[in-house]
Amino acid sequence: MKPFLSNRVQSLSESQSLKMSQLCAQLRAEGHDVIGLTLGEPDATPPPVVSEAVAKALSDYASSHYGPVAGMLSLRKAVCRKLQNENSLTYAPEEIVVTVGAKQAIFNAILALINPGDEVILPTPCWVSYSEMVKLAEGKCVFVKTTPESRYKMSAEQLRQAVTGKTKLLLLCSPNNPTGSVYSKDEFRAIAEVLRDYPDVFVIADEIYEHINYVGEHCSLASFPEIADRVVIINGVSKAYAMTGYRLGWMACHSLPLVKACLKLQGQSVTHATMLAQCAAEAAYLDTPDYVAQLRQGFAERKAVVMQMLSEIPGVKCVEPDGAFYAFPDVSSYYGKKYRSASSDSTNSTDLTNFTNFTNLSNLTNLSNLTTISSSSDMVNYLLTEAHVACVAGSAFGEDKCIRLSFATDIPSIREGIRRIAAALSKLV
């Protein structure tokens, strides 16, 4: 019998961050007291101008009908103004494609560029979806491992060593998910100098966390003229304006053949981003920068709490994130340790006495036996069952020593979550 599902979809991994977020939501809906440190989205509400624009657009005929595949001209102009004003980069509206979230912009660009066997350089740790998108395009990921010593940044030398005759694309994210690393202008200049020697290599510069930057100005790889024509900037309103649910992103690229290819893909798949979401995004870009600055300030305060609390947990090491809203602590000093059922150890129960039996959920570990933690996914299962804290395994990002904690949540939850993590780690034997 022929397989029901395609080989393509069967080889695809599920997004671990979405999976853990959904599991966390499910457990909460069932009444469990779970602290969620999984979500990659700001907990703020978007600027008021956004809902006002949506309310106005609701009665507008155009908003409920098809629009241009590339996105509304007025929105593309707003994106061009943003690039000019904030990044000193000049783009024309024809060089912008509005997409269903930044995710679709990346997907379009990968599908438009990659032939089977083409190599894509991915510095790791990196966002969970890149490698799966490359897989769908039948490309080959070339992972370049970065370490805490370089603050999880790829050096120009590492890049040079990774490039081969088959390299088609470099995919770089700054500020980075999950490590929070931010490349400086000098570091990007060195990378641009390497790329100058390889004129066939394109770059996807994922700048979705541009505004969540704690160290200063954002630098775009597109600001280096020698490679600017080959850089695809990816951005959107999800993270800066707390608009993840609007699913609104965009790409900016000087290569018109690539823009046309992405439009062809888009025209044959989603047609265009939702008109209401486009009106909402346009309003966000017209908003004052105060909103973004306040959001960033809030994240900076949360980051300080996270870093302080993590530094007090024995054996946990964490490179301070310079951007985004994730901490990526190395918890591997606890690998090899064991845990036993919380119910068999009532002396350690403290406020976890309302520990509920999760074992009816097939994907969680049964705590009735002594179990060894030997990976980041063992660790996140343990933290969920023992501490009722949901986070994401580092293995999903290419670094099994670490777990990812999102601090895009309120400070009391962060404090309670990390307190529970510390208590759970201290119980390991």
| Contact positions vs ligand PLP (CB under 6 A) | 40, 101-103, 127, 173, 177, 206, 208, 236, 238, 244, 249
Nearer to ligand PLP, 113 or 208 (CB): 208
Distances (CA, A) of 239 to 102, 175, 243, 296: 10, 12, 7, 10
The residue behind tokens 């964490």 is: 318
In the complex, the smallest distance separating the C-beta of residue 161 from ligand PLP, rounded to whole angstroms, is 24
- Ramachandran angles phi, psi of 278, nearest 5°: -65, -40
Task: Count how many Cα atoms sit within 13 Å of the Cα of residue 376 in the half-sphere of its side chain.
Answer: 21
In the complex, the smallest distance separating the C-beta of residue 39 from ligand PLP, rounded to whole angstroms, is 9
The answer to whether 313 and 421 are in contact (CB under 8 A) is yes
The answer to whether 47 and 295 are in contact (CB under 8 A) is no
In the complex, the smallest distance separating the C-beta of residue 105 from ligand PLP, rounded to whole angstroms, is 8
Nearer to ligand PLP, 240 or 258 (CB): 240
CA gap 172, 169 in Å, rounded: 10
Nearer to ligand PLP, 128 or 195 (CB): 128
In the complex, the smallest distance separating the C-beta of residue 347 from ligand PLP, rounded to whole angstroms, is 40
Distance from the first to the final alpha carbon of the chain? 50
In the complex, the smallest distance separating the C-beta of residue 208 from ligand PLP, rounded to whole angstroms, is 4
CA gap 188, 272 in Å, rounded: 33
Nearer to ligand PLP, 67 or 249 (CB): 249
Nearer to ligand PLP, 236 or 417 (CB): 236
Nearer to ligand PLP, 42 or 298 (CB): 42
Q: Which of 280, 233, 245, 241 is nearest to 97 (CA)?
A: 233
Nearer to ligand PLP, 177 or 220 (CB): 177
Nearer to ligand PLP, 101 or 298 (CB): 101
Nearer to ligand PLP, 142 or 324 (CB): 324
Amino acid at 333: S
Distances (CA, A) of 162 to 28, 110, 209, 220: 44, 19, 26, 21
Would you state the structure tokens that stand for residue 347, as one six-digit string?
């002396």
Nearer to ligand PLP, 72 or 342 (CB): 72
Helices (H), 114-152: 128-136
Burial zone of 259 (CB within 10 Å; 0-12 exposed, 13-18 middle, 19+ buried): buried
CA gap 323, 300 in Å, rounded: 9
CA gap 151, 50 in Å, rounded: 36
Query: Packing angle between helix 275-286 and helix 48-58, nearest 10 degrees?
Result: 140
Nearer to ligand PLP, 128 or 425 (CB): 128
CA gap 87, 235 in Å, rounded: 12
In the complex, the smallest distance separating the C-beta of residue 116 from ligand PLP, rounded to whole angstroms, is 24
In the complex, the smallest distance separating the C-beta of residue 233 from ligand PLP, rounded to whole angstroms, is 12
In the complex, the smallest distance separating the C-beta of residue 129 from ligand PLP, rounded to whole angstroms, is 7
CA gap 131, 136 in Å, rounded: 9
- Beta-ladder partners of 249: 99, 236
Provide the residue count of the chain: 429
In the complex, the smallest distance separating the C-beta of residue 174 from ligand PLP, rounded to whole angstroms, is 10
In the complex, the smallest distance separating the C-beta of residue 403 from ligand PLP, rounded to whole angstroms, is 16
- Ramachandran angles phi, psi of 235, nearest 5°: -160, -175
Would you state the structure tokens that stand for residue 351, as one six-digit string?
């406020």
Helix or strand holding residue 352 (H, E):
none
Which residue in the shown chain puts its C-beta closest to ligand PLP? 101
In the complex, the smallest distance separating the C-beta of residue 346 from ligand PLP, rounded to whole angstroms, is 40
